[in-house]
Each structure stands twice: as C-alpha cells, then as structure tokens.
Structure 1
C-alpha cells in the first residue's frame, strides 16, 4: 500500500522559541530554533525556510560544527538529532537519559560535549566516507557540579573545556589523556553566573554575572621541562580581573566576543547593545581592568525590548538579536546602520486565509482583528493592518487583481485594501443593529461584493463603483456557510444549515427595473461544507445525514454521491458534531482532485478526478479513489508528543491557484507540496434530487413579492412528477405497454408509450390479456380520473413554476 507524503516548503507564523542563534559566515545564513524545527534566514537571497525535519517537542538548544555541515538539535523529550545541512537528512538519532540545555562541538569536529543536569558528557561522533552512516560513542563523563550546568565552551585546541553552574562555581575539565593536570575549580562568585566564553587562540576567558559584573580570567603555563610539548594550565588569583559596567537602568543579559579582534558585544535587558574594546588594559591595578566603549546602539521598544541572545557574523557587518518574550529576531546591518530583517509571528490565533491569483501573496486574518500579508517566495511578512475592532471571519483577494484584498469582520464592516499604497481604500457597512459578516464573495469583474450576516441570515450586495448597498436578499432561515459568484453574469450560490442551497440570478441588473430568480434545492440534512470547482461548473456539498454530493450546475442535478455508510473510506475520520463546524473542503488548482479534512485529526482523503466528456458536455464520474496524506514524523517512539506540533486542529485548507501546493491553517500556516498514492476504491450510484424554483420580482421600491408554496398538495400529483423524471431517462425495454396523456384531452387515443399512475397500474395488469375486449371499460375509468387532475393542474400553473 502506497502512502502519500507531505514535504514542508515553508511555515508561516513561526517565532523564535529561545536557544542559541548561529551564523554561517561564508553562506550568510542564520540558524535559530522555532518550536520543534530550525529555520534558516538567507541574507543573500532574502528568504526564510525551515529545514525539512521535525523534532518531537520544543528544541532546547542547537549547535553547528566549524565546517558548517552538521547541525545538532536537542528537544524537551531528550532526543538528539544530527542533521546534514547540505543533504537535508538526519544522520544520527540518540535518546539521552535526562534533559539537556547546552551542547558544543569541539574545534576539530569529532567530539560533542553536552550537559545533562549537573554532569557533562563527551560523545565521539564518526561518519563514513560516503556520509551515508554515522555512529555515536560515549567517550567520557564528568561529575563535579552540585547544581545544573548553564554554560559550556571549548578551548581553541580542544584539550579542555569550561563549564559554569548554578552553584556559583566554574570548572575546567581536561579531555586529552596526555594532559598533565586535573580539573580546576573557581569559586567565590557572589552573583549568579550567566555565561562563559573563551578567547580564540588563547587561554583567557570571560565570565558574565548578574548586576553587570564581568570577569576576565587568564590561565598560565606551569614551568616544566622544555622537552615536554604539552602544557598544563594553572590558575593564579593575581590574574583575575573584575570590572563593573556602568549602566544602572538595565542589566546585561548576554555577550559575544569576536574571535580575532577581541571586541566585546554586550546586550542589555532594555534593548541596548554596546560594543567594547578589550585591548586597552590598565597595568596599575591587577584586580580591576578598564574597557573602552566603541559604539552604542539603541533599539526602540517596538522592535526589541529585551536581548536574550545574539550572534555576530565574522566580518562584523551583520549581527542578530533575539527576544524570547516576543519571539522576535532582528538582523542589523552595521554599515548601513539599519535593520535588515525582522522575523516574528505577527499573529496568535489565525481564523482564515486566502491565496492570490498569481500564487505570490498570502493573506491571513486573526481573531484580534489584524490582517497580515505574507510573501510565499521569501516567507516574510510584507504588510500588517489592524483596522478592524473585532475578529476577522473571512479574507479574499480579487480574482484578477492581486493588488486588492478584502476582509469581513464581526464588527459589521468590510474593508478593501490597496497593497501597493498600503492603505484602506473602501469600507462597507449596513445600518442594521445586528451585524456580523461571515461569508464573503467577489464578482468575476470585481464590481460587486456579497457577504452574509450570521445573525440575520441575509445576503448583502454592494457595488464597488458606487460604494453603496444595492440589495439585501432574504430567504435563508439559518446560518449561511458559503457564498460564491460563478460565471460572468451576476449569479450567486449560497448554502445554509436550513437544508437548502440557492442560486440567485439577476436579470437586467444595470437598469432600474430588474428581476431576480431564485432556484431552491433541498437536501436531507444540514449543508456543512461547500466548495466550487475552479475549472468546471460543479459544486461539492457535505450534508449531515447524506454524505458528499457533487452537483452539476449545467444539468442541475447530482452527478455523484458518497454516503457516510461506506466504511472503507471513513474508518479513521469520525463524523461527529464537533467536526461539522470545522470541516475543510477544497479542490486542487486544476479541479481534478477533491480534498476534505476534519478538525479532529491530521488525516486527509482525496477523491479521484472527474473526466470531461466532450460529446455530452458534462462531467461524469469514472473512478472513486480515496487517498490518505501522512505528515512527516520520527518513528523512534510512537508517543502522543510525536504529533504535538503537526496541524491536529485544522481550521482551513486551501490550494494554490496554479501549482500543487497547499496551505493548511492551524495554530500556524503550513505550506506543503504533495505526492499521491492509491489506498481504496469506492463506487456508488447517484440518486434523484429535489428541486424547486421561485420567481422573485423587484420594482423601484425594492420590495420582494413571494409566491409561497401551499400545503394542500395532493399525494397523487407529487408522484406524477417523480415518475416523469425517472421514466424520461429510461429506454423502452420492458414488454409492458404504458399510457400517456396529451394536452388535447378530447382526443381519446391510446398509444404504445404511456406514463402509469398508481391507480391505473392494477387495471392495466389485470386487463393485459384480454385488452381488446375490455377496451371501453378502461377508457371510462381513466377519463373519470383525468378531470380531477386537470382542475388541479390549472390551479397550480398560476401559482408555481416547476422545472424537471
């Protein structure tokens, strides 16, 4: 059995979730953790893309070796992954015994040191020549701290490493077997230690503590014989230098040292970044040392208010700042003295999304009334609007104008945005007290806009040229699911929970006297989902007690039906009341495949394409296939946490207009490319469908005149029209003779073909053998029934219009 795969292209709405920020200088790429994945900002091409892997939980820490080929990630479930960045493959999976918050590659790239609570482990990692396989081996374990280890760093030679803990101690551990010293302990720190860092090509390191205290510590060589090449560092108290930074309002939170020029970068809690020079040291007092301030960069509170972590490019042109509280990352250009990149989520609880006609832009609506517009190519947010007061229900682009977008909100207003001018150009509303616009549709030409109200169940139509409300359509008695404009003429399709969907057709709408004809189609249950095929006049409905219906607008009948009783395709999908409200349905960009998904689980089913028959000019169902889409996940342990960050609660599901890309709206927006595989095959036959038609006439006063249906229909009259619809499609293959009535009822003629009524069937079968003898008796009985039916027909012709 083949399985479908989803490859993640991008993920919109992600944010910085804490941890180190790493630069690869030669590629100008920035790596940072975003919940259970790692995102990459390409400063050359100006793009943001996530790496094609997903961990089981939030990532605690990451690190890249000095070659820039391998990336290590450790998440909250103690899962360690080593990923090849070039090949985009996971090389090694390792499950640790405890939580790990820091890790560091050795300078030579063969060893990885990581901390688990209060002890440190060094792992040896090897790769084959073809880089197809890898292995991990535990080299050494160090037990000496009494509390959790916060920071760790290697020496430039890789002979020893340093660690800082919450027990106010710093320890230096030897790693090489040939080293002639034991571990060194540093105590006496009054303030809590934040981080430690070695200088490159030296045995000096810096220690940053709380209350803006910075220590510079030097390790000296022990006097030994000249023949021995190895050295053993010794700590001297005379070479511990201390300085207190003069900044009373803010506290230092993180620092970074340039490996070659010995320039110190300090980040503060108020968003201030200061640059110091460590070369100039006063030799008078050994216990204190002075540093020279080179530059001070202040960011406003709108951009950054707290620097939790930052990193620098080796050419000191770009540096990145991370704010864990806001989930924001800023890339600053020192040469141009401006912010180059701002990366943040921009929305918390998305409610709707739409794709432009050229597949370049994505618009997202929020429950807090904000609208964000994203570039699909780069992955960055381009514009942000916050003009609505309440939550946004629907957003949409104009069909042939990707420059214009529209939104409908709970505050009872519709707004049109010009994305080039970055402003709102039109606002539509109505004078009703109860206003809550939900469904939204734009005309083919873009001159008319329709929206439905959740509380009054009315459809409002506005003219974009005049900016005035043209008409209000009444008729629905419950919540309206969807609105569509189809065709070049002014035709609107609306589906509702009142077990009906209606087609509203305007005639002569450019003149003062125009008319609207409403076709009403009734179903067995509530219509909970509706979608329109982009390349054919076909609509798919999901009915509560009747399954999926595929309706042809040209033939005005159901082409295909899938019931809930077919258990082969619906084993994993539960059709409960909770899934009805959040059911997502859509067609592919070419209209050949139909997708639907429930909100309870990340499982999708795809129904095969409908082929076009040119001779009949209608769409026929050839084969009914179901496909299941599977999300990429790790198969180490089948736990509930493995699917924690996959789109388990799907709000909406939209396809691109010209490509096989889909957008899934969950807590964030997933941008996938698809590959298909066959699972099951189901075939069913369509059944007849009920239909009515009412003619609605409008005058200058805009008052609607309804001809309502009376309740005293004769049961016999309803069965006549059912027989007409069924028998008209059948060929004459049965040996029975059927009777037909003509309009000229005075002519008493019998022919071979005729429609039978329930009252006449018994007479016909009894008299089939001796037909010639009893001919006169049959004519008398039929004529008595004709007069009653004719009176009923003449009465109903003046009241109702029927189409069969």
Structure 2
C-alpha cells in the first residue's frame, strides 16, 4: 500500500508530433504526447493523460463519432484500439508500415487507414456494426502510384477521398454503384495535404503542399447514386437423357433434329442478347454518371512566399457546417478562408516554427494548432480573436523541478532558459519566466510559498515573486560563474549557490540581496547543495567532483567546515527530513548515508545494478560494459525518512529502504523506443559490416536533408546537430510534501506518479467479526464512534465516507472525543483527502475544526506533516475556487441593489409629480431591459 504508486499524469509536454483531434462534444483536445495521449478538457480547464503507453511515438489518431473509442497508430505502424470509458487498450494491430492518416466514417461503421500507396478499410467494432471483433478488413484500394497522405469520408459514408504524393486525389466507394467507379482528380503540381467533402454534397476541395487549392463540383446529387445490379442472362434449354437403352436409328434422327433446333436456339439467343444490350444501353443512358468539374484554382501560399520563398503548406483542416478552411505553413503562419469563394477572414503568425497539425471543433469556433518544433499547443477562438488555451512545454530538456510546500504547484527549469510553474491538479502551466539567457541548472520553492529561486549557467540566481509574478531579485557573483546548484535555508533568509567552473559556494541574504560570504575549499565543480531543514540549525552540506562531502556552518562560523572523504565524485546530497542524516550519491553508483553529528557513515546502498543499462545506437560497447559508468544523479527522502527515491542516467527510478539497504520497488518511466538507450541490445537485423543501420539518415522526412546524428561527446541541448533520438534519463525527482505522489523530470516530460488507493485492500488492526454489514448495523444503532473505528479498521474508502457523512453534525465533537488518538489521526487523513472532491464543504470543515481543537495537541506534527500539508493544500484550493464565485455574486448583488434603489427613487419622483427628463426616461428603459434580460 505504501508503494502502490501508479502513473497518473504527464506535465511539461503538451504536444510532440502527429495530428490533433477534438472530442465529439467539442470541449476537449486530444493530443499525442510522445508515446502517450493527453486529453485537454477546455471546459473544466484540466488535462489528463491516458494510462496507455506505446513502444514508439504516436503519429496518427482518430476518435469514433460516439466518443467512446480512440484509435492511435505509432510511427512503426502499431495500432492500438483504446476505450475512453475504461481508459484501457482493447486490441492491438500491426500494420508493419507507417500509417500517415486514419479516419472513422461519419456513421461510425468503418475506419480507413493510409499505408504506403494503399488504403485499408476496416469494420469498426461496436453496437452500430454489431461486430465486436476489432480490425476486420473489408476492402483494400490500390489505385495510388505513391504514398497516400490524407483521407476524408463523405457525409453519408458512401465515398472515400484519398490524397496522395503522386499529386492526385482518388475517390473510392465501399459499395458498387451503377453510375460510379473509382475516379481520379489531378490538376495539382505537388503532393496532396488535404481533401475535404462538402456538407450534404459530393463537392470536393483539394489542397496541395505548394498552396494550390482546387474546388471541384460533382455532377450528381448524393441521392442519384443507384446501386449496381448484375443482369441475369437467359439460360439455354437443355434436354437430359439417360444413357441407358439408346436406339442408334432414333439417335441419328434426333441428332439431325437437334442440329436444326440448336441453330434455331442460337439465332434466338443472339436476338435476346441484342435485346439485352439495347436494354442495358437504355438504362445506362437513363442513369447519370458521376464526374467532377473544376470550378477554380486558388494559390494560398503566394503571400507567405513573399517573406520566405521556401515556405510550404504543412497542414489543413476544413469545417463543413461553417465552410471554414484553415491552412498552416512551415513559417508558423496560418490562414482562415471562407469557402467556396475563398475569402480570407484571418491571417496570423503564432511562431517561426512549422505548424504540424490543425483541428477544428464541432461548432467551428475553436482552432487547435500544434507546433512540433516548440512543443506548443494552441486553441484559438477565431471569432473573438482570443486564446482558449495556450500551452507550451520546454523546447529542450527539462533539467530540474521543485514542489511547492503545499504540493499544489510544481516549478520546473529547462535547458531553454525558461522557468515554468505548473498546477499539479489541472496539469496546465500558469506562468513562464524568461529572464535567464542560458540553461537552468536548479530551481527551488521557498518554504513560505511566496517566491521561487532559480540558478542558471548565465551567472545569475534569480528570485520570482509568486504574488505579482515578476523577477524581484537578481543575485550575481563578483566574477562570472556558471551556477550549478542552489539551496535555501529553513527560514528563507539565506541563499547559497555553487559554481561549476569556479569551485566556490556563494552565500547571499535574500532580504538585502547582498553577498555575505564566499565559501572556498572544494577543488572541483560543486555538484549539489542542501541546507538543514531544521529551523534551529543553519548547517549546509555540499558535494563536489573532488570526492568530498563538506558540512559547513557558514552563517555562524564563516568558512569553517568538516570534510568527509567519498569513494567517488559526489553528484547529489540531500538531508533527511529530521536533519540528522545526509545521503550522498556518487559516481560509482553508490548511495552513502552519514550522521551529521559524528560525520560517520551509517550505511550504504550499491545501486548500480538496479539502474539498468541501455545501449545507444552510437555506442561501441555493450550495455553491460556501459553499466559501469551509470550512477544516480538525484535523490529524495520520503516524508518519514525511512525510504529514499533515486534516479539517474537510466529509465529506472528506485525506492530503497535505508535501514535494510534493499530495493523495495523499481519504476520504469518509459518504454518509448523512439528514445535512445531504452533497450539493452541492438537488433541484429540493423547491424551490418558498416555499423548500425539506425544511424542512416532518412533525408526525405527532414526538410533540406538536415543531418540528424549526434556529435561525439554532446550530452545536453540540441546535440549540436539536431539529434532526433535523445537518450532517456531522469534529471530530477522529488516527493510531494503531501506524500501522495512524486514527480520526475525526464526526457519524456514531467511524470507524476500517485498512490492508487482504491485497488489495494489494506486493513488496519482488523479484528474477527468486523464486516461492512456489522459496520452498517452499528451505525444504524447510532453508535457512531464504534462504527467509525470499525470502518477505519476495514480501511475501505466508501465505507468510511458513509459512516462519517451519517454522523449528525451535533455529535461530531462527541465522536472525536470518544476515539483513541491513533484513529483520530486516520480520520484527519481521510477528511483531508476527501475535502478535495466533496460537495459537503461545511460539514467536513466542522470535522476538521473539531479534530484540531479537541485533539490537535495530541497529533504528532512531525509524523503527520504530510497529512497537514494535504489539508492545507485542499483548503487553499477550495478557498480559491469559492472566493471567485463569492466575489462575483457579491458584486452582482450590489449591482442589483443599486438598480432597485435607482428604480425606487424614480417611482418616488413620479409619485411626487416631478417631470422626468429624456435622460431619466432613457435610464428607466435601460433598467427595464436589464430586468427582462
């Protein structure tokens, strides 16, 4: 139960690559985020990531018209059929090649997929088709000469338009029609990006990569399609004779008669065939054939090419109801046109990066835009010209993170020089600070939750105000230093930062912004710093690449320190929550623990083999050999100090028991083979006498044939040559102060793992005879304290909730007084967590008030600190939510009162016989209109 952490959400990455889609209700955007899928609920302002993970990055997704089934295909052609109700994978299918587009039919009975130059049509599982066997292939179309790029269904799901790289668009039908066969539309000079049917019509619009838009008109109405019926030919009459008792004379006579008869029959059949041909020609002349007429050609990319001659059209989307066409270009510009006249409504540029995907919601009001280069996702409301959502992750690696003291926010720093603040509950970024000019090396939240501190390689340490969201303090050293780490003391009065190129520690006063001390003594880069968490102590611990751990008391005695020799280069140091012990991660893969008073080593953990190895495509050594160079680079204690969380140069995160020095649980943060060094072995099919085939660049996918290999020795940033396969690593991790979750900053993004409370049965001091039935019987007898104790022993959430909510509010204090201290703490823990989602806010606040006033002095604040922080976080969240509503209602009530007073004064003036002016009459009519509204 204590380590039942499950993946709950992915923050810090909002879009990687692939196509965006809206949910059928139009309020949610579904975005492929690497090998995961995130749903952004714009109505409730919340994001959630599906607990589904693929082996490679997702590139094509689509949702069924009923909104219950999602199909996602990764870059290797592995398709997953996902239920959005259970949020689980129902079925998997391997296309074995890349799928560029996949689309459900509007009636939900079929879905089509583009693979190479083919189009595969499958039956969709569900109630509409009565077919629950997924991926049943119905038709395959082979008409294209090059790869197919886009699919669109007609409104009645009868026709299918398929765009291709051979500059043509082909139309297919699932059924046979008398007046339609497969049809091809040309007239383009570049590959097709999009093809779109009109509403209630077969009229078509096609758009190509060079910005050419062709509008096509269909010759027939949809109702004019006639089913094809095979014509049954008349059978020739045949006589059947038995082979027995044959008379040869009669046979000779019969053969002569048969010849004459056959001649007559042949003449008759020829006449019948001629009549049938005449009938069919008459029928075909009556049936109007389907063909297309080009109404016009428009050039949408001319305005963009005036600024950039290399600009190409990369994505397009069309809304049938409102006839709105949205096109995106490689320069970051997008146009909104009204069809079929192609009148421009808007032209806007969101960035200088390529727009990878565009989607429109069901009403056509919101436009979702995805930029893979920046990892940016925008939802633009084009009529009001406002952003419904604007989210962007770190454009490069996320290097560090820190929780707020109440666990409500997470602050992250990246190699792009940005500091971002994320709401842990909603998953959205609330503010971004861009004052740093180089990579962020470390970030910290202050203990009073009022400011955030960040250290950077640009030689500055900056402090940001969390109330006004501004940089209010910039701390620098006497000479330029690249700061690699930062630490705050428990009182938030002193700040220390360690140098990477200058082997010194700088100590500042946060209030004065003045440099107090320069601590010298290390002979290598300072890798990590940590202040003692106790308010009574001002000790500072530091580790360096010079294989030493130093304990400083800089505030009281200046540069005096105690040196502890380590077995290898120090990489990370953290204090135990009680401040009596420090843990140090070293380069040889060990975690060592030292007593702060005696400076003696108490225990150590050999964790190199638990890290797990991974062989990169460029590695010339085996994974077993490269494991010798692996080490933990980040550590974090649990709230009670009994276990430690460790991560580093691998995809694994480990939890160790400190006292026993054993591995308790290992978490694999990703299975994404689109990253490097995930597998321990390189597939032998990729190994040749010239090296790894995976290193051969696919120039067709990269504009201009840019090299996508990593330069030797480069480990961070863009690898100096636009590497597209970064190594999977855990850069930073931390437990939430509430103890209910922990976060890891990885190559994948910011991963949140939370306790899954509902799936584990974990009773507490359970006794014989305690069952849900006996608990309910005791509650019925109005023995509230006893029923609550029995429910707490069973430790089932719904049962505890039922008992607590059935206690009368007048008996809450008596019930709390009757409980032992152990059960009071468990009640406080349950009430604190339940306050997050409950509607009975006042009722639970009465419980909290009774517990803290009656039994507050008996609660062990050190042990129960995570519970108290959870309580603080949820109460603060409820306060923030309710304060907005109350303020709005308060101002609305005041406005209504003023209108009432104004109207009463007018009526009184009328009754007194005073003449009303035109302005007063106008005000009266305005008041009456407001009342009607």
Q: Report the TM-score, using the length of structure 1 for normalisation.
A: 0.70
The equivalent residue for 2:459 is: 412
The equivalent residue for 1:339 is: 387
Q: Say whether 1:532 aligns with 2:575.
A: yes
Closer/same/farther in 2, CA of residues 376 and 185 from structure 1, 3 Å limit = same
Question: Any idea what the Cα deviations from partners look like across 1:410-458, whole Å, max 9, x if unmatched?
Answer: 33322211133232212222223x6232231112111111122234432
Q: Is the 8 A contact 1:31 1:39 kept in 2?
A: yes
Q: Is the 8 A contact 2:647 2:653 kept in 1?
A: yes
Question: Any idea what the Cα deviations from partners look like across 1:472-525, whole Å, max 9, x if unmatched?
Answer: 223333333322221223222223344443332367x5xxxx677533434455
CA distance in 2, matches of 1:443, 1:225: 78
Name which of 303, 321, 344 aligns with 1:260. Answer: 321
Closer/same/farther in 2, CA of residues 176 and 478 from structure 1, 3 Å limit = same
The equivalent residue for 1:96 is: 95
Name which of 286, 296, 307 aligns with 2:345. Answer: 296
Name which of 607, 626, 629 aligns with 2:667. Answer: 629
Matches within 5 A, 1:78-93: 78-93=77-92
Q: Is the 8 A contact 1:13 1:347 kept in 2?
A: no
Q: Is the 8 A contact 1:33 1:59 kept in 2?
A: yes
Question: Any idea what the Cα deviations from partners look like across 1:687-706, whole Å, max 9, x if unmatched?
Answer: xxxxxxxxxxxxxxxxxxxx
Name which of 635, 638, 653 aligns with 1:604. Answer: 653
The equivalent residue for 1:585 is: 635
SS at match of 1:583: strand
Name which of 508, 525, 530 aligns with 1:462. Answer: 508
Name which of 474, 483, 503 aligns with 2:520. Answer: 474
Q: Which moved further from structure 2: 497-506 or 348-357?
A: 497-506
CA shift at 1:357, angstroms? 1.4
Name which of 588, 593, 599 aligns with 1:550. Answer: 593
Q: Is the 8 A contact 1:531 1:586 kept in 2?
A: yes
SS at match of 1:10: strand
CA shift at 1:152, angstroms? 1.7
Q: Which moved further from structure 2: 525-534 or 353-362?
A: 525-534
Name which of 502, 517, 530 aligns with 1:484. Answer: 530
The equivalent residue for 1:426 is: 473
CA distance in 2, matches of 1:570, 1:74: 31
Q: Is the 8 A contact 1:267 1:274 kept in 2?
A: no
CA distance in 1, matches of 2:223, 2:319: 30
CA shift at 1:326, angstroms? 4.0
Closer/same/farther in 2, CA of residues 479 and 150 from structure 1, 3 Å limit = closer
CA distance in 1, matches of 2:589, 2:727: 27
Q: Say whether 1:248 aligns with 2:302.
A: yes
Q: Is the 8 A contact 1:6 1:632 kept in 2?
A: no
RMSD: 4.0
CA shift at 1:544, angstroms? 5.8
CA distance in 1, matches of 2:491, 2:730: 32
SS at match of 1:250: helix
Matches within 5 A, 1:177-188: 181-188=180-187
Q: Is the 8 A contact 1:221 1:234 kept in 2?
A: no
CA distance in 1, matches of 2:63, 2:426: 24
Question: Any idea what the Cα deviations from partners look like across 1:382-406, whole Å, max 9, x if unmatched?
Answer: 33333333333222111222x3111
Closer/same/farther in 2, CA of residues 202 and 128 from structure 1, 3 Å limit = closer
Q: Is the 8 A contact 2:20 2:358 kept in 1?
A: yes
Closer/same/farther in 2, CA of residues 29 and 469 from structure 1, 3 Å limit = same
CA shift at 1:233, angstroms? 7.2
CA shift at 1:96, angstroms? 1.0
SS at match of 2:302: coil
CA distance in 2, matches of 1:585, 1:593: 11
SS at match of 2:54: coil
CA distance in 1, matches of 2:508, 2:420: 25
Matches within 5 A, 1:133-282: 134-176=133-175, 181-190=180-189, 192-209=191-208, 210-220=210-220, 234-236=289-291, 239-244=293-298, 248-250=302-304, 254-267=315-328, 271-278=333-340
CA distance in 2, matches of 1:124, 1:656: 46
Name which of 310, 331, 341 aligns with 2:358. Answer: 310
Closer/same/farther in 2, CA of residues 502 and 479 from structure 1, 3 Å limit = same
Matches within 5 A, 1:743-754: none
Q: Say whether 1:378 aligns with 2:426.
A: yes
CA shift at 1:254, angstroms? 4.7
Q: Is the 8 A contact 2:740 2:755 kept in 1?
A: no
Closer/same/farther in 2, CA of residues 593 and 603 from structure 1, 3 Å limit = same
The equivalent residue for 2:28 is: 29
Closer/same/farther in 2, CA of residues 147 and 528 from structure 1, 3 Å limit = closer
Name which of 751, 772, 784 aligns with 1:671. Answer: 751
Higher RCO structure (Cα 8 Å, ≥6 apart): 1
CA distance in 2, matches of 1:395, 1:556: 28
SS at match of 1:594: strand
CA distance in 1, matches of 2:225, 2:626: 82
CA distance in 1, matches of 2:629, 2:354: 41
Q: Is the 8 A contact 1:6 1:672 kept in 2?
A: no
SS at match of 1:299: strand
Gaps of 5+ in 2: 231-285, 306-312, 614-623, 684-723, 758-933
Q: Say whether 1:541 aligns with 2:584.
A: yes
Gaps of 5+ in 1: 279-290, 611-620, 678-804
The equivalent residue for 1:330 is: 378
Matches within 5 A, 1:57-76: 57-76=56-75
CA shift at 1:570, angstroms? 7.8
CA distance in 2, matches of 1:456, 1:633: 39
The equivalent residue for 1:397 is: 445
Question: Any idea what the Cα deviations from partners look like across 1:620-665, whole Å, max 9, x if unmatched?
Answer: x368453222346599x989799x9998322222222213322222
CA distance in 2, matches of 1:48, 1:312: 19
CA shift at 1:554, angstroms? 5.0
CA shift at 1:555, angstroms? 5.7
